Amino acid sequence: MARKVFVSYKYSDSLVQDLGIYQDSFFGKIKIATTARHYVDEISEHLTGDDHIYKGENDDESMENLADSSISSKLGDKIFDSSVTVVLISKGMKESFTSEKDQWMPWEVSYSLKKQTRLGRSSSTNGVIAVVLPDESGSYEYYITRDGECNCRSLNTSILFQIIRDNIFNVKEPNRRACNGGWVYSGDSSYIQSVKWSDFIANPTKYIDKAIELRDKKDDFNIVKTIR
């Protein structure tokens, strides 16, 4: 079944693995720096092939002088009729000295999670997937590592925006065990599940369908929808 997909990402983040992107110039083709935007192009091609509809930001507009009503209008138009939001996690997606309320990605996630009404029509909460991009060296370890002692995957959630962090390990009745002073979760422990880019792009439909499955079980999770 085709889904309408919105992609949230940091447009200019270049702390990602090189994809070998070239563009035409007066002197012929020249190699340019790969950014998160180029990964969105890859997703767009795959979603079109699977008869999905790609919807997402196509610029890096500043939010600094935008009123909440303007933000609502811009995002509402793009997110309202989508059913799944793909959030690209990248090493440089957060602006360290800028409030999260002044960055697009937290707002995009917030609007994806909220029910909205427009022109007499209502939208449901989106399913949301966190797709982790490889960094400049091709590694995912800035976010995903393997804990051999506890035999589990470990997520460095401190790098995430708060609204994403709040919706990870948020199942109401967790299946978990203690290990080395922390918890190891099993099953569907997070409303926003994290997947490596290499796994996602090999089978996007699998992960999009999983996000829809979790959306249909959203009452099992403590979902946080507002930016704090």
Three state DSSP letters for the chain: CCCEEEEECCCCCCCCCCCCCEEEECCEEEECCCCHHHHHHHHHHHHHHCCCEEEECCCCCCCCCCCHHHHHHHHHHHHCCCCEEEEEECCCCCCCCCCHHHCHHHHHHHHHHCCCEECCEECCCCEEEEEECCCCCCCCCCCEEEECCCCEEEECHHHCCHHHHCCCCCECCCEEEEECCEEEEECCCCCCEEEEHHHHHHCHHHHHHHHHHHHCCHHHECCCCCCC
CATH code of the domain containing 96: 3.40.50
Would the pTM count as exceeding 0.95? no
What pLDDT, on the 0 to 100 scale, is given for residue 72? 67
pLDDT of 77 > 70? The answer is yes
Instruction: Note whether residue 170 is domain-resident.
Output: no
Q: Lowest mean pLDDT: which of 16-25, 61-70, 125-134? A: 61-70
What pLDDT, on the 0 to 100 scale, is given for residue 45? 84
Length of the chain: 228
What pLDDT, on the 0 to 100 scale, is given for residue 120? 73
Q: 4-55 pLDDT, tens per residue?
A: 899 999 988 999 999 998 888 888 888 889 999 999 989 988 886 665 776 6
Contact 176, 184 (CB under 8 A): yes
Instruction: Note whether residue 226 is domain-resident.
Output: no
Confidence label for 1 from pLDDT (cuts 50, 70 and 90): low
Residue 92 belongs to what domain range?
A: 4-136+191-219
In this structure, the number of other CB atoms found within 10 A of the CB of residue 209 comes to 14
Instruction: Note whether residue 85 is domain-resident.
Output: yes
Instruction: Note whether residue 82 is domain-resident.
Output: yes
**185/177 Cα distance (integer angstroms):** 7
| Bridging pattern class, strands 121-122 and 117-118 | antiparallel
Instruction: Note whether residue 185 is domain-resident.
Output: no
Q: Lowest mean pLDDT: which of 94-103, 126-135, 185-194? A: 94-103
Average pLDDT over every residue of 189-211: 96
What pLDDT, on the 0 to 100 scale, is given for residue 48? 67
Q: Domain total for the chain?
A: 1
What pLDDT, on the 0 to 100 scale, is given for residue 57? 56
Instruction: Note whether residue 26 is domain-resident.
Output: yes
What pLDDT, on the 0 to 100 scale, is given for residue 49? 64
Q: Which residue has the tokens 């035409």?
A: 24
What pLDDT, on the 0 to 100 scale, is given for residue 118? 73
Instruction: Note whether residue 33 is domain-resident.
Output: yes
Instruction: Note whether residue 186 is domain-resident.
Output: no
What pLDDT, on the 0 to 100 scale, is given for residue 68? 61
